[in-house]
Amino acid sequence: MKYGEEEIKKAHLEVWKNHYPQNDYEINIEFPEFTCKCPRSGYPDFATIRIKYIPDQFVVELKSLKLWLNQYRDRYISHEDAINEIYNTLKDTLKPRRLEVIGDFTPRGNVKTIIRISM
């Protein structure tokens, strides 16, 4: 196993203390190289994941987010399940004031899917 694969395998989300919880500021993160596998065919699915949130006490550490999202690359998971899992994990871990996760999947078989979840 290569060192990058080891880093991805053991990845978990890390949070940092928000030093400005009194401010309602928005954080936008874009992850344009998300991949997972279709649970039916095994074909790869590609997406851009967009995360927008207003932090409360915590912010996500970006390298840990990148490595954690890369754990999906070998998983057989539907678009909907992947985005719901990402959303729920971020919501439970960060406890933000506001959160939106969008999965903008590349068309496959002439079908484009965009999944948006927000609170």
pLDDT for 29 equals 98
CA distance 17 to 82: 27
Total number of domains in the chain = 1
Going residue by residue through the chain (119 aa), what tens digit of pLDDT does each one get? 899 999 999 999 999 999 999 999 999 999 999 999 999 999 999 999 999 999 999 999 999 999 999 999 999 999 999 999 999 999 999 999 999 999 999 998 889 999 999 98
Range of the domain at 29: 3-118
For position 113, which CATH number holds?
Answer: 3.30.1130.10
Tallying the residues shown for the chain, one arrives at: 119
pLDDT for 119 equals 83
Q: Is the dihedral of CA 18, 54, 14, 47 positive or negative?
A: negative
pLDDT for 60 equals 98
pLDDT for 70 equals 97
pLDDT for 1 equals 87
Please list, in sequence order, all residues whose beta carbon lies within 8 angstroms of the beta carbon of residue 51, skipping any fewer than 6 positions away: 27, 28, 29, 30, 31, 65, 86, 90, 99, 100, 101, 102
Q: Which amino acid is at 81?
A: D
Q: Which residues are catalytic, by number?
A: 38, 45
